Amino acid sequence: MTIRYDGKVALVTGAGGGLGRSHAIELAKRGAKVVVNDLGGSVSGEGANSQASLDVVAEIEALGGEAMAHGANVADLAQVEDMVAQTMDRWGRIDILVNNAGILRDKSFSKGSVEDFRLVADVHLMGTMHCTKACWDIMKEQEYGRIVVTSSSSGLYGNFGQTNYGAAKMGVVGMMNTLAQEGAKYNVKINALAPTAGTRMTEGLIEEKAFALLTPETVTPAVLFLVAEDAPTRTILAAGAGSFAVAKIVETEGMWLPEADQTPEGIAANWSQISEGGERALQAGFEQSIKMVGQAAKGLGLDLS
């Protein structure tokens, strides 16, 4: 079965180069009409230039596709709302949103400024929220939507010098977890991409031979899968160099401690059982509460039915 997006409208942020450009072009090749968003700033978020997004539009049109450019800064809600309004005026719907725009301001936590932290969070976390918020009710009313947030191994696992970036990238996962629940009855699915790619954001940080393998084109198939009609939802899909894996947040089974042991010393004494065994991925926050109350009831001999 060939996955296509005929009749669908896709909005890709940060699509003037790198991963976003690859996502936009491949979506267009498979039939989508594409909004190519890019502020055209530097890797650190300075400046603006619309030429990059216009060049990608020209590439898509040369392939026989339809596209439009918009230079919205995703950190500015008014600009994002204008982009969505122009998209609706032209095509009347938005089916796919790929939140890809991002910047880097890497420094160790001691050396990094509060201003840099706030700016990185504004672009990655608030920018993702702005774009998703602007499209959300449109997708609900259509009873169709496919959204990708871009996370990172730096958020999932940490990376030296990227406290700001990692915090924002984990934040979008928390956002995805809840929106997957809220969008389910409207056929709005949302997933997270955790890419590893050789782009201008990672140039000089990755060894040259590895960089050559980590092309944006080896990541884009993950996005195409995550925005397909039969896509999963609430999934973190890692991709890079043609390899793909699913990342999961799991919780151990844990244990209930009698009141006398509900102390830091009691936790320390039972740490092995608390920290290991029975790992599973919970599907919603309330499942943790149910588990813990159930363990307590069993330990106390209570019937909560």
Residues designated catalytic: 165
d(CA 228, CA 230): 5
Strands of the 9-12 sheet, one edge to the other: 67-70, 33-37, 9-12, 96-99, 145-150, 188-195, 236-240, 243-247
For residues 197, 15, 150, 114, the Cα torsion angle rounded to the nearest 10 degrees is 100
Phi-psi region of 160 (alpha: psi -120 to 50; beta: other; left: phi over 0): beta
Determine contact, residues 210/197, Cβ cutoff 8 Å.
no
Name which of 190, 255, 240, 291 is nearest 22 in CA terms. Answer: 240
Rounded to whole angstroms, how far apart are CA atoms 211 and 261? 52
The residues facing 190 across adjacent strands are: 147
Burial label for 291, CB within 10 Å (0-12, 13-18, 19+), is middle
CB neighbourhood size of 251 (10 A) = 13
Q: Sign of the CA dihedral 100, 104, 108, 111?
A: negative
Q: Distance between CA atoms of 78 and 165, rounded to whole angstroms?
A: 24
Classified as helix, coil or strand, 65 is: coil
Q: What is the dihedral sign for C-alpha 62, 68, 69, 75? A: negative
Q: Which residues of 87-113 are buried (b: 16+ CB within 10 A; e: fewer)?
A: beeebebbbbbbbbbbbbbbeeeeebe
